[in-house]
Structure 1
Amino acid sequence: MNRWPQLDYLGWRETCSALQLYLQIAGKYRLAHTPWLNHSWNATFYVTPNGLASSPIPDGPGIEILFDLREHRVVGTCGNGLRKSIDLGPMTVAKFHASFVQLISELGGTPNFNGLPNEVPNPIPFVEDDRDRPYDRDAVQRFHQALMAVDKVFNRFRTSFLGKSSPVHLFWGSFDLALTRFSGRRAPLHPGGIPALPDDVAQEAYDREVSSAGFWPGGGGIDYPAFYAYAYPAPGGYRSASVQPEATFWHDGLSEYVLPYDAVQSAADPDEALMAFLVTTYEVAADLGGWDRDLLECAPGLPRKVRSVARSEH
């Protein structure tokens, strides 16, 4: 099977929307019980060979949530050995919410969390969302396969940076797999105004200069899967800079560089096409923004090879 599958957002967008809301329910539970970590890193999910995992949540005996996108179920495990699951399939958001609350209760946790979606148009409280939602198993599996391929390249890119860097993680609000590098300097106060997201959350997320890249399955202003890159604050000349690969363009509505997923999937070497996007969009942000690249960067990491360290002369 091609490691970079074809993705048709319009063909599975209703399933995609439902999956995002299910992840928000689990993510909000995690957020309610996990101490805040800079830039909301305490709320995210991580790509695994089976799907998307929360990492341990400090509630009750300790609980971890896995969205198993191969077996199509949500699995909860806890520190006392219990394991409970919910099947993923056609249902309402309200039904999933009720099942998830029951799952957490049976694992010995406290299922108290905010009940309103974030970063989606016209948010409906989870318990009131009674619209029937489809579930396209094949599309979900292709999405997971794509996440695995993207995660591998993002993590390789992460190895060439010595400064502060986020993990490669999935934000359930905007439903994007993201990776962020930091210059080490403070940024101007973010104006906020992100739909259905508190301004203080956005301002805390962007209180330092960043160069960020990520992957969307679609939605949020585009009707196709794509990679994005942006800088905050964007330095002068950023939007008109030369970046790679050739299919990359500046999206005025999003104020970000966008590279359609299809251009990567169909490339002779998809991994290197995506790497070119990550490297060139970062370099433009760092050069135009005056980042100390000599201090912040290193050679890409290799298995079983310790990073070489320059020795000072005496």
Structure 2
Amino acid sequence: MNRSAAREDWPELPYSAWKDTLETLHMNLQIVGKVRLALTPFEPQWANVPLYLSARGLTTTPMAYAGLRFQIDVDLIDHQVVIETARGDTRRVALTARSVADFYADFMSNLRTLGIDPGIRPIPDEVSDPIPFAEDTVHAAYEPEWANRFWRVLAQIDLLLKDHRSRFRGRTSPVQFFWGTFDLANSRFSGRPAEPPPGAGLIARKGGDAEQILSLI
């Protein structure tokens, strides 16, 4: 592989340069992810919660609300969130330089026009000093190039972790993107239970009750 091809596959993603876009995208992905959390049955280690890599970004995979099957895709090529239903309806919410509060209102309005009202908890998880989505005018940066580079790096890591996962014969999780901690992860399990640490919160108690080796980026 020549250097230009390597740069294309593994684009530079300096934290200082894309920090503001990261923080806004993190909140927007939490909003999308919370729909999946609200509408899917709980699975051990929160396996029902993550998003998954797609050919254009991230996806919830299919879910259902009141019998209506639908899916939400975060398109980091055309920079939009696409909601599609089994009835053939489509709604698009732009990913642009606007506040989280504005994105949240637009996204939830589009869900409601489809008859979907997931009743999510409207506050970010697993971040310090969380701002309710409807009040968050702090995070409003979005540079499409940085968001696209982030997805391209994730896509490469996704392939590597899937190859790593394939060699383990025991119980293992899919490669999955956790929108709360904003990382791509794969877990291998020993089959033995584990005791969550004293004072652990709900997330740690539910996610840490089995021995596991966690690979995350």
TM band (smaller chain): over 0.9
Structure 1: 5+ residue stretches without partners: 194-198, 216-314
User: For residues 251-273 of structure 1, what are the alpha-carbon distances to aligned partners after superposition, in whole Å with 9 as ceiling and x for unaligned?
Assistant: xxxxxxxxxxxxxxxxxxxxxxx
Alpha carbons of 1:189 and 1:134: their partners in 2 closer, same or farther (altered >3 Å)? closer
Q: CA deviation at 1:214?
A: 0.9
Separation in 1 of the partners of 2:202 and 2:36?
Answer: 19
Counterpart residue identity of residue 176, structure 2: H
Aligned 8 A contact 2:196 2:204 in 1: no
The DSSP-based 3-state class of the residue aligned with 1:151 is helix
Q: Partner of 1:13 in structure 2? A: 19
For 2:37 and 2:10, how far apart are their aligned partners in 1?
32
TM-fit CA distance, 1:132:
5.3
State which structure, 1 or 2, has the greater radius of gyration over its C-alpha atoms.
1
Q: Deviations 1:101-151 (Å, cap 9, x if unpaired)?
A: 011112221141101101111001111112251111111111111011000
AA in 1 matched with 2:24? A
1:162 to 148, 169, 176: 169
Contact 2:65–2:118 (8 Å) recurs in 1: no
In the aligned structure 1, how far is the partner of 2:52 from the partner of 2:181?
Answer: 15
Residue type matched to 2:190 in 1? Answer: S
> In the TM superposition, what is the alpha-carbon distance from 1:206 to its structure 2 partner?
0.8
Q: Within 5 Å, which residues of 2 pair with 1:1-314?
A: 1=5, 2-60=8-66, 61-131=68-138, 133-193=140-200, 199-215=201-217
Q: Distance in 1 between matches of 2:115 and 2:199?
A: 37
Paired residues, what number? Answer: 210
Is the Cα contact below 8 Å between 1:4 and 1:149 reproduced in 2?
A: yes
Q: Taking structure 1 as the reference length, what is the TM-score of the superposition?
A: 0.65
The answer (yes or no) to whether the contact 1:154–1:179 under 8 Å persists in 2 is yes
CA shift for structure 1 position 192? 4.8
- The residue type equivalent to 2:85 in the other structure is C
Cα separation, 1, equivalents of 2:103 and 2:136: 10
Partner of 1:302: none
Indicate the SS of the match to 2:129.
coil
- Paired residue type of 1:98: A
Q: How far apart in 1 are the matches of 2:199 and 2:186?
A: 20
Q: Percent identity?
A: 36
Give the Cα separation in 1 of the matches to 2:44 and 2:139: 36
Determine helix, strand or coil for the equivalent of 1:144.
helix
Residue aligned with 1:102, SS: helix
Structure 2: give runs of 5+ residues left out of the alignment: none
Q: Is the 8 A contact 1:77 1:107 kept in 2?
A: no
Distance 1:111 1:99, change over 3 A: farther
RMSD between aligned residues: 1.2
TM-score for the superposition, normalised by structure 2 = 0.93
1:69 and 1:192, CA in 2 relative to 1: closer, same or farther beyond 3 A?
farther
Whole-Å separation in 2 of the counterparts to 1:6 and 1:130: 28
